[in-house]
Amino acid sequence: MEGETSWISHYIDDMSKDIGDFDSFSELSDEGNKEATTISVDLILPDDLLERILAYLPIASIFRAGSVCKRWHEIVSSKRFLWNFSHVLSQKPWYFMFTSSDEPVGYAYDPILRKWYSIELPCIQTPNWFIASSCGLVCFMDNDSRSELHICNPITKNCKKLEEPPGLKFSDYSALAIAVNRTSHNYTVSIVKSKQVPGNFFQWDLSIHIYDSETMMWATSLTEVLTGWRGGDESVICDGVLYFLIYSTGGGAPENRHGLVTYNLSSRASPLIRSFIPVPGPLTCGRLMNLKEKLVMVGGIGKQDRPDIIKGIGIWVLNGRNWVEVARMPHKFFQGFGELDDVFASSGTDNLIYIQSYGAPALLVFDMNQKLWKWSLKCPVSKKFPLQLFTGFCFEPRLEIAP
């Protein structure tokens, strides 16, 4: 058995190198046909074993494999293959980087093959839409009325438009999150809306709206008035609990300008302020993410005398009601971004965290398991004008999940 596993691993490595050398999902050439005549072992492999081997390939290589020959195309398109693919080790998350401030175009980074791919995103119209992802599905919400929502698989391009959510159509702040059940593939979408009470800057109306894919219905699960705090645009769902950042509206000490609120989607207890958790020190910004059902926050660390000026970036995991620091970005990587704004883009899943400056296409990757920082391969785009902005989001590349 050990010898067989070693042989399969070797074969998978060779196949990945042979069929993983294209830069676009639509870029198919005669290379695959040439390779098909040289892989003689393919002729003696039964379909079930070939399926097992192909299922362990990086997802970009699976797309290439479908162009090698008719037999391989039928295998990677079959329902049985998709089932096998869903039960192998998870693919590492990709990062999609928008390369235009106006059009939803860009490149997706594959950390396994260390390559960028030009892919088109369905549904989304501009890069400034709200974006959340979970287990292969991505949720887009427009930034104008905040009532147009789509769920899609960016790899297969399967897409579904959701019903318009209830509540205020034009809120001052909105936070979007999605959680997919990895077994049933049912999903929950949450929107936290926040709007200033007319004539009172210190009081804000806050509401939470939940969409259930099983019932295909929205429900407004909570409405509250916060005093001294408002909602923002940062939220995530971990293990059935909705977490979102709130921001002080009454001045106060720098370390008290941000806070975390938790909301159990099952018990739905209130008032929210009872679940308040302080952040671990003065932050210039905070980014929340779900890494294996653990809440992780990437935050900009403010200077001691000027807490609104960033001096570094830290990573924390929430353990109960306490933050545990996992890592701080080494100074050489912090300097590598050049002029880093007080706010930045960061998202992650599984064991990878991506960090990106809004002012440049540089992308830094942190591996939570290995505690390793590494720059991605350079994105094939350059900054064309001084005020050009770059942003992006992380998602899991999966074939078997549809909205």
- Evaluate whether 208 touches 190 at the Cβ level (below 8 Å): yes
For residue range 346-378, list pLDDT tens digits in order. 999 999 999 999 888 899 999 999 999 999 999
Class of domain 45-85: mainly alpha
For residue range 78-121, list pLDDT tens digits in order. 777 766 666 665 679 999 999 887 888 899 999 988 999 998 89
Mean pLDDT of all residues in 130-143 = 96
What are the DSSP E strand ranges found in 99-214? 106-110, 115-118, 130-134, 137-141, 149-152, 159-161, 173-180, 187-197, 200-212
pTM, rounded to two decimals: 0.84
- Evaluate whether 367 touches 354 at the Cβ level (below 8 Å): no
Query: Which residues lie closer than 8 Å to 328 by C-beta, 6 or more apart?
Result: 301, 312, 313, 314, 315
For residue range 230-239, list pLDDT tens digits in order. 999 999 999 9
Has residue 15 got a pLDDT over 70? no
pLDDT band at 154 (very low <50, low <70, confident <90, very high): very high
- Looking at residue 253, its pLDDT comes to 59
- Evaluate whether 58 touches 73 at the Cβ level (below 8 Å): no
Residues of 219-241 as b/e, b for ≥16 C-beta within 10 angstroms?
eeebeeebeebbbbebbbbbeeb
Helix, strand and coil content of the chain, in percent to the nearest 5, comes to 20, 40, 40
pLDDT band at 224 (very low <50, low <70, confident <90, very high): very high
Lowest-confidence segment of 143-147, 174-178, 216-220 by average pLDDT: 143-147
Q: For the domain made up of 90-395, give the CATH fold.
A: Neuraminidase (2.120.10)
For residue range 326-350, list pLDDT tens digits in order. 999 999 999 888 777 788 999 999 9
Q: Name the residue with tokens 């079959």.
A: 78
Task: Give the separation between CA 179 and CA 187, rounded to whole angstroms.
Answer: 6
Has residue 23 got a pLDDT over 60? no
Task: Give the separation between CA 96 and CA 118, rounded to whole angstroms.
Answer: 9
From the list 207, 204, 208, the residue with the least C-alpha distance to 196 is: 204
DSSP conformational letter for 24: B
Distances (CA, A) of 393 to 179, 227, 274: 15, 32, 31
Can you give the residue ranges of every domain in the chain?
45-85, 90-395
The residues pairing with 247 across neighbouring beta strands, listed in sequence order, are: 230, 258
User: Within a 10 A sphere around the Cβ of 82, how many other Cβ atoms?
Assistant: 17
- Evaluate whether 226 touches 273 at the Cβ level (below 8 Å): yes
Query: Which residues lie closer than 8 Å to 39 by C-beta, 6 or more apart?
Result: 15, 18
Phi, psi of 356 (to 5 degrees): -140, 135
Task: Give the separation between CA 347 and CA 367, rounded to whole angstroms.
Answer: 12
- Looking at residue 78, its pLDDT comes to 76
Of 40 and 110, more confident: 110
